[in-house]
Structure 1
């Protein structure tokens, strides 16, 4: 009966661990979709600013040959849109370059689980204590008990 209980507990623990890892993976995927949506929106804004810059530059060239101060206003607009476009694209370049790896936290947790399981497989099992002699009068057993309780 004890073997079936421990197998059932192991199975429940395994399913619970998988459930937790899948929840973490789904959260990471949602974050990644949000990040890509943000990149997409900023890319569209940057593209719009770039197109406006080109259109205003063309318009500036046409206006240069007309009357006096229209050039200054149009030059200022071109500069503002050009700087916005360049700034957005540089931000996107660094954000994409420095983004976290997809499912990095899930993979890290699985690595931690593997390390814990390997460590547990190297340590002696509690069943080995059951087979040990129960003689508490023996000095060796008293010393080892004191050492184990003192960490």
Structure 2
């Protein structure tokens, strides 16, 4: 076997390995996209319904206290909205800080490939 044939065979194996990893990444991205769209749709539906409910609750409280304590009712609602917005911002920041990495299976396979190429893995290819 000549050196050029060996180089061609190695190049073909590397290209095949890269193709396999890209296919895995593509599948993971498709699954993530589907899950993300589903979560987004349910999140939008929940947000719209919650806003309608919140508007009705605010209207109810304002009408209930309009003759006696209208300024206290408006101020109380404003404080509740500020506290709710602060809580939502803190939860969002915490969730973004602990989100999982993108394409975890692909990254794990690439780490295994790198370890095998360095000779750290006893299995080889």
Q: Partner residue of 1:26? A: 26
| Residue 96 of structure 1, CA deviation | 6.9
Shift of 1:115: 0.4
Higher relative contact order (CA 8 A, sep 6+): 2
Q: Which residue matches 1:111? A: 111
Distance 1:99 1:34 in 2: 17
Whichever of the two has the greater Rg, that structure is 1
The aligned counterpart of 1:102 is 102
Q: Distance in 2 between matches of 1:49 and 1:33?
A: 24
Aligned length: 95
TM-score computed with the length of structure 2 as normaliser: 0.60
CA distance in 2, matches of 1:98, 1:45: 25
Structure 1 residue runs of 5 or longer lacking an equivalent are 66-88, 121-151
- The one-character-per-residue Cα deviations of 1:20-53 (angstroms, maximum 9, x if unpaired) are 0100111111122122212211221121121121
Mapped to 1, the partners of 2:109 and 2:98 lie a distance apart of 21
Instruction: Report the CA distance between 1:99 and its aligned residue.
Output: 5.2
> Is there any run of 5+ residues in structure 2 with no aligned partner, and where?
66-87, 121-125
